[in-house]
Amino acid sequence: MAKPSGSRKWFRWVVISLAVVAVVGLIAVAWIPNPVEVELSEVHRGLLVVTVNEDGRTRVKDRFIVSAPITGNLARLDLEAGDAIEEGQVLARLVPLPPPLLDSRTRAEARARVDAAMAARHQAQAAVNRSRFQRDFAKQEAERALAVVQQGGLARSDADRAVSNYGSSKEELRSAEFGARVADHQLKLAQTALIQLSGQGEEGEQLEIISPVAGQVLKVFQESEGVAPGGTAILEVGDPAALEVVVDVLSQDATRIPAGAATLIERWGGKNPLRGHVRVVEPSAFTKLSALGVEEQRVNVIIDMDDDREHWASLGDGYRVEARISVWRGEDVLKVPASAVFRSDESWATFVVEEETAVVRIVELGETNGLETEVLSGLEEGDTVIAYPSDSVRDGVSVESR
């Protein structure tokens, strides 16, 4: 039998070597990991607004509880909640009971109530004068600020703040005037009660309780006819055109909310959000249980409407709304999706994509609104980051766009 020639041996070894190389290559390729599919986002500049978002409720700003000034027989009321009323309209009628004998103590108490009501009227009138002065001053400041803006010497935001202060001062004057009318009403009731208790009124005379303001009946506390002791609440009246929004926020959020902060009122029942501004952040906090049963310190934030009433005429007292209170605003901010950053030891980091490879980059962050985050350093405009890095993404891993 003939032995294989040298060329055949060489050919066989070449074939075997190629087969081995092919097997090794297939094994190597099989062990090479596939690129991780990720969602990419480009670092860019733009507007960033940070807001505090909380539920709130509407509240009639100026409200007054009508009560019986003396003990008497209350006639059945003809009014119901929602009825419109005029200033000076008769709300209820009392038939006084036979007056008791007045001793010196009772007489002194009745006169003291008259003196207290008179002092309250003087105080209310002083508040009106003070609010009127503040309104006039705020008007001058707003006009001056708008004039300077037209000349290019003042930022538009400062002028808007001055205009907002003017609007708030007008609302405060309106509330002060409401308080003055209520004080006048209380004084008249105290004087009438003193006359009735002294037995100086005509026999069979009815005591008419009139409305101190124009508006609507908000609540009816006592509908049925019967004896009403002095001080018994009968009706609650108010002006629904003077509506405000009360939002309770966490105390740590309240420290960031300035007076005059722009606010959007959403999910109130209308098609478009309503514009408003923060009038005051109340100085005292209160404890409230969260949905998880955790005690939280909350603070009431009072918001005034900026839109005309025709836009929110359907809103009433105690309606639920959602408020977005602006606490920070940046016009030209370098930002990334908030989901793209994560903690790395004691620093913040993100995955930057360089030549289809994920690279960890340490960054310094600024403000955030939960969706987007301001980047102070570590990234440049135009960089590509991984928006939602999963556990499969690590430093040096190959990635591809999903």
Average pLDDT over residues 324-344: 92
pLDDT at site 281 = 93
Token pair 């709300």 in the structure block, residue: 91
Q: At what angle do helices 104-150 and 156-197 cross, to 10 degrees?
A: 160
pTM, to two decimals: 0.64
Residue 200 pLDDT exceeds 70: no
Task: Give the sign of the dihedral formed by CA 130, CA 131, CA 135, CA 136.
Answer: negative
Angle made by CA atoms 155, 161, 166, in degrees to the nearest 5 = 135
Per-residue DSSP letter, 339: G
What does the mean pLDDT of the chain come to? 83
What does the domain layout of the chain look like in residue ranges? 37-48+331-401, 51-58+241-329, 64-93+206-240, 100-198
pLDDT at site 8 = 67
What share of the chain has pLDDT > 70, as a percent?
A: 85
pLDDT at site 48 = 94
pLDDT at site 1 = 45
Residue range 64-93+206-240, CATH number = 2.40.50.100
pLDDT at site 197 = 59
Residue 387 pLDDT exceeds 90: yes
Residue 272 pLDDT exceeds 80: yes
Q: Which of 237-241, 318-322, 332-336 has the lowest mean pLDDT?
A: 237-241
- The one-letter amino acid at 279: R
pLDDT at site 361 = 94
Per-residue DSSP letter, 5: P
Residue 204 pLDDT exceeds 50: no
Average pLDDT over residues 189-211: 65
CATH class given for the domain over 37-48+331-401 = mainly beta
Average pLDDT over residues 102-114: 67
Average pLDDT over residues 82-108: 73
Of 206, 181, 175, give the one whose Cα is nearest residue 86: 181
Per-residue tokens: 274: 């309503």
Confidence of residue 203 (pLDDT cuts 50, 70, 90): very low
pLDDT, tens digit (0-9, with 9 covering 90-100), for 217-265: 888 888 788 888 877 888 988 888 888 999 999 999 999 999 889 999 9
Average pLDDT over residues 51-58: 94
Confidence of residue 327 (pLDDT cuts 50, 70, 90): very high
Distance CA 379, CA 366 (A): 13
Confidence of residue 345 (pLDDT cuts 50, 70, 90): confident
Which carries the bigger pLDDT value, residue 185 or residue 293?
A: 293
Q: Topology of domain 51-58+241-329, per CATH?
A: Elongation Factor Tu (Ef-tu); domain 3 (2.40.30)
Cα separation values, 126 from 119, 131, 172, 181, 389, Å: 11, 9, 13, 13, 63
